[in-house]
Amino acid sequence: MNNNELASKPHYPILDGLRGVAAIIVVTFHLAEPLATGHLDILVNHGYLAVDFFFLLSGFVIGYAYDDRWQKMTVGSFFKRRIERLQPMVVLGMTLGALGFYFTDSTLWPLIHTVPVWKMLLVMLIGYTILPVPLSLDIRGWQEMHPLNSVGWSLFFEYIANILYAIWIRKFSKTALGVIVSIAAIALAHLAITNGDVSGGWTLNTEQVRVGLTRTIYPFFAGLLLSRIAKPVRVKNAFLWCSLLLGVVLYMPRIGGAEHLWMNGIYESVCIIVVFPLIVYLGAGGVLHTQSENRICKFLGDISYPLYMVHYPLVYFYVAWISNHKGVTIMQAWPYAFLILAGSVILAYTALKWYDEPVRRWLRKKLG
């Protein structure tokens, strides 16, 4: 099957827009994080749940785009499409992280200036493949799978979900898929309630890989199931209401505090298992009525993935600045935070037009 045939289905513009809204909230979460005293008082406390929302969106869109095309498409052609879509920005994000690495030396990462260039370049090359970097190559000291671009961990699990879908789970009936999703929901709720949250998944060890898989399996395959069973419902101003609901969920302060961690776990379970599918369901059925809405959703959808992949190399500079200026308040930091946010959006759009789209067109020709 050629790419034109694969691209013939209409998009869900509201879902594209919601992906962009979630990506912007992720950036604000990463900008608020270093100003907190711990994980209980981050200003954008549930911003990390945007990743779980991305997984659910991804499962929904993958099911919609590919479920009815396997008679004309091979597993190999599916992976070519995914590589073409995901890898160019993976490479750019890791390259930007490498370019900025030595310039983020700070009291937070005192060993950066001792890392030999060959080791940093090796980490970058491994990062290009999105395979996890072993802890022996942790050149930053945060025990991350991808020390040059922290967010790479979620792409690793995204690929795992895509592999499971293509070689196995795409063949499941709705009932069998429903059973898998139900079991995954129980596992997710258990993780959230026992830990107090679902945050984690970026370290290459048994505990964190379990967190990453648990955070991926439920939302991705719940999205897939939703794409198979959902009947569109028309909601007036769906983009506005879905964006507001997503914002409320992700900006909600921590619930229960240190004394009642389970309460926050219940909140996050409900968000991921119930609220996120509801948002996607309403967004998928919604209709845009004005050109302005169409343009906003298209812009947000276009920059969503580039923004997610390029913002953290800039955030490293911001985190280093806060680390080197102890006692920085929110009022002192917000102009710099806004500058990073605006710069990330500009960089994302520039990367989209001057790099991502041309490279993807080139890959499409090369990969056939």
Distance CA 323, CA 238 (A): 41
**pLDDT score of 40:** 87
User: Has residue 323 got a pLDDT over 80?
Assistant: yes
Length of the chain: 368
Q: pLDDT confidence of 210, banded at 50, 70, 90?
A: very high
Distance CA 311, CA 346 (A): 10
Q: If you average pLDDT over every residue of the chain, what do you get? A: 95
Distance CA 23, CA 45 (A): 15
**pLDDT score of 119:** 98
**pLDDT score of 233:** 85
Which among 283, 107, 266 has a CA at the least distance from the CA of 194?
266
**pLDDT tens, residue by residue, 184-206:** 999 999 999 999 999 999 999 99
User: Has residue 276 got a pLDDT over 60?
Assistant: yes
Averaged over 263-289, what is the pLDDT?
Answer: 96
Averaged over 268-285, what is the pLDDT?
Answer: 97
Name residues whose C-beta falls within 8 Å of residue 357's C-beta, 6 or more positions apart in sequence. none
Q: pLDDT confidence of 15, banded at 50, 70, 90?
A: very high
**pLDDT score of 235:** 86
What is the pTM assigned to this prediction?
0.96
Q: pLDDT confidence of 3, banded at 50, 70, 90?
A: very low
DSSP code string of 99-156:
HHGGGG--SSSTTGGGS-HHHHHHHHHHHHHTPPPPGGG-SSSS--S-TTSTTHHHHH
Using alpha carbons only, what angle is made at residue 99 by residues 97 and 101, rounded to the nearest 5 degrees? 60
Half-sphere exposure of 279 (CA within 13 A, CB side): 34
**pLDDT score of 8:** 56
Q: pLDDT confidence of 6, banded at 50, 70, 90?
A: very low
Which among 328, 331, 335, 308 has a CA at the least distance from the CA of 34?
328
Q: Which range, of 82-91, 107-116, 292-301, 341-350, averages the lowest pLDDT?
A: 107-116
**pLDDT score of 61:** 97
Per the structure, the complete domain to which residue 281 belongs is given by 3-367
**pLDDT score of 105:** 84
Radius of gyration of the chain (CA): 20
Q: How many domains does the chain have?
A: 1
Distance CA 218, CA 55 (A): 9
Averaged over 179-183, what is the pLDDT?
Answer: 98
Would you say 144 and 134 are in contact if contact means Cβ atoms under 8 Å apart? no
Name residues whose C-beta falls within 8 Å of residue 198's C-beta, 6 or more positions apart in sequence. 48, 49, 52, 188, 191, 192, 211, 214, 215, 268, 272
User: Has residue 56 got a pLDDT over 90?
Assistant: yes
User: Has residue 326 got a pLDDT over 90?
Assistant: no
In the chain, the amino acid numbered 131 is L
User: Has residue 368 got a pLDDT over 90?
Assistant: no
Q: pLDDT confidence of 5, banded at 50, 70, 90?
A: very low
Which has more confidence, 183 or 110? Answer: 183
What phi and psi, each to the nearest 5 degrees, are found at residue 329?
-95, 170
**Tokens 């059973």 label which residue?**
179
Averaged over 154-176, what is the pLDDT?
Answer: 98
Averaged over 293-317, what is the pLDDT?
Answer: 98
Which among 49, 47, 53 has a CA at the least distance from the CA of 15?
53
Q: pLDDT confidence of 93, banded at 50, 70, 90?
A: very high
What phi and psi, each to the nearest 5 degrees, are found at residue 111?
-95, 0
User: Has residue 272 got a pLDDT over 80?
Assistant: yes
**Tokens 């709705």 label which residue?**
174
Percentage of the chain with pLDDT > 90? 89
**pLDDT score of 92:** 98
